[in-house]
């Protein structure tokens, strides 16, 4: 059975992530609404994290989806986990496992530019 996927990341999927989720037909893909996406990606002190987490869970429940790569700061991630735990929801949250490859590139002015490439290894549920 294919599960519905709710992509809630601040970033677009890379080719390896698309391959895992779309080309292998893991499930139907939905993207969060632009207003919810903006709220998750631009969290500020004083924002109601609990309400935002509830909203994300409600969207996932309505779609009968699992949430992939939810955006938001670490405090939001914790709040999302608590909301899911307390609600008894069957929604699961998946995060990408990746291998980080970093290079230091010396610049003509003597500074160092750091370039990091993240190689997708797969998605894992929390």
- In DSSP terms, 116 is beta-bridged to 102
Judged on CB neighbours under 10 Å (0-12, 13-18, 19+), 70 is: buried
Q: Please write the tens of the pLDDT for every residue from 97-119.
A: 999 999 999 999 999 999 998 89
pLDDT at 41: 84
Structural domain including 31 reads 4-125
In the chain the first and final C-alpha atoms are separated, in Å, by: 20
Could you give the CA distance from residue 99 to residue 101 in angstroms, rounded to a whole number?
Answer: 6
Task: Count structural domains, the chain.
Answer: 1
Q: Please write the tens of the pLDDT for every residue from 20-67.
A: 887 766 677 888 888 888 888 888 777 789 999 999 999 999 999 999
Q: Please write the tens of the pLDDT for every residue from 59-86.
A: 999 999 999 999 888 889 999 999 999 9
Task: Note whether 27 and 88 are within 8 A (CB).
Answer: no
């Amino acid at each position: 059975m294919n599960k519905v996927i709710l992509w809630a990341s601040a970033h677009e999927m890379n080719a390896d992530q698309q391959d895992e989720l779309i080309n292998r037909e893991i499930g139907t893909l939905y993207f969060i609404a632009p207003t919810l996406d903006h709220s998750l990606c631009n969290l500020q002190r004083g924002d109601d994290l609990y309400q935002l987490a509830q909203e994300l869970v409600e969207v996932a429940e309505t779609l009968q989806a699992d949430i992939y790569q939810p955006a938001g700061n670490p405090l939001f991630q914790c709040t999302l986990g608590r909301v899911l735990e307390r609600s008894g929801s069957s929604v699961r949250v998946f995060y990408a496992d990746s291998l980080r490859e970093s290079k230091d590139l010396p610049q003509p002015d003597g500074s160092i530019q750091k370039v990091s490439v993240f190689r997708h290894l797969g998605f894992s549920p929390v």
